Amino acid sequence: MPELSGRTILVTGGAGAIGGHLVRALAALGNRVIVLDDLSSGRAANVPRLPDVELRVGSIVDAALVEEIFSTARIDIVFHLAALFANQNSLEHPEEDLITNALGTVRMLEASRRYKVKRFLYASSSCIYGDQDSRADAVTRIDTPYAISKMSGEAYVHYYGRRQGVPATIVRYFNSFGPHDLPGPYRSVIPNFLARAIAGLPLVVTGTGRETRDFTYVEDIVAGTLLAAASEVALGQVFDIGSGRETEIAALAEQINVIARNRAGIQFAERRSWDGIARRYANLEASRRAFGYAPAVTIEEGLRRTHEWMLEELVPLGTTRDASGV
C-alpha cells in the first residue's frame, strides 16, 4: 500500500483492542505512528513497543495537546478511532459521551483541516443502524447516546469533507472481537462470554437468544480499515466493515462453551431496555466493489484464537476471574 507507507500517521484510540492491531499493521508498512489515547478503555500494553511508534497519553478533547501533536509531528494521515465506548456507558454518562465522541471528533477534524492532512479515516459503528437493514443509506433508528454521538461524528466528517477540504472516509465497524479485547463492564459480549466460560460460570444471554449480530475478527476489521484509507474511490463515502454473516447470540454462547469446555451452560435474562434490535449484519457490497474487501477469518477460527489468547495472557493474571465477578 504505497498510500500508507512512509507516512506520519496519528491513530486516536490506538491503545484499544482494534487500535493496537491497527498501529502494528501501520508500523509494519514503514510508517511513523503516533498514538493518542487517554487509556480510559484501552491499555498501554496494546501499543506495540517499536522504534517508530509513540504513545501520547491524553484526550482528543484537549485542544492544546491536539495542537501540539499536529504542529510538531506534521501528520499526514489520521485514523480516528477514539470514542467513549459504548452503548451502556453512554446511557450512564451521556454528557461525557457527547463531549468525547462529538466535540473530540470536531477537534480532530479542525486540526486536520488546518494542517492539511492527506487522509482522514473515521471509525463509526453499526449501532447507528436500525433493525436488519444495515446499508449506508438506511439509518432508521437510534437507541442510545453512543449511537447519536457516532452519527453526529459522521455528519461532521461529511461536512468537513464537502466544505472544508478534509479528504475523509467513514467505516462502520460490526462487533469486532479478538485478542486484546478485554472482558469487564461496558465491554463486548464475546470477551465477557469467554471470561465466564473460562471461569466455569453460565453465560448470561439477555433477550431470547435468537437475536443476531455480525461478529468480525479484528484482523479483518484492520484489513478493511487499511483498504478504505488507501482507496481514492472511497473518499467521501461510507462503508460497512464486518463479516457479512449473522450469528445468533444463543448459538454464540453454546459455541464458546464448547471451545472452553464449560459445562455451566446458559442462563437467560431480561432484555436490556435499550437493546431491541433483532437482527444486524453488514452489507459488504460497497466495500467489495470499491476496494476489494474480503473478510477471511471465520467466527469459529476467530473464537479459537481469542480463547487461546485469553488463556495465555489473562488467566495467569486472574483477569478473567475478576472480570466475571467471581
- The stretches in the chain having pLDDT less than 70 are 130-141, 316-326
- pLDDT at position 156: 98
Distance CA 326, CA 85 (A): 24
- Domains by residue range for the chain, with CATH: 2-175+216-241 (3.40.50.720), 178-214+245-280+297-320 (3.90.25.10)
The interaxial angle of helices 17-28 and 218-230, nearest 10 deg, is 50
Distance CA 92, CA 141 (A): 20
Tell me the CA distances in angstroms from 292 to 44, 111, 236, 239, 284, one per residue in order: 32, 31, 17, 12, 10
- pLDDT at position 109: 98
- pLDDT at position 320: 53
- Separation of CA 167 from chain center: 21
Enter the DSSP assignment of 39.
Answer: -
- pLDDT at position 130: 60
Q: Which three cell numbers stand for residue 272?
A: 436490556
- pLDDT at position 260: 97
- pLDDT at position 325: 38
* 69, 33 contact by CB (below 8 A): no
- Separation of CA 310 from chain center: 19
Which tens digits make up the pLDDT trace of 106-120?
Answer: 999 999 999 999 999
* 12, 177 contact by CB (below 8 A): no
Which tens digits make up the pLDDT trace of 215-253?
Answer: 999 999 999 999 999 999 999 999 999 999 999 999 999
- pLDDT at position 120: 98
- pLDDT at position 81: 98
How far the first Cα of the chain sits from its last, in Å, is 46
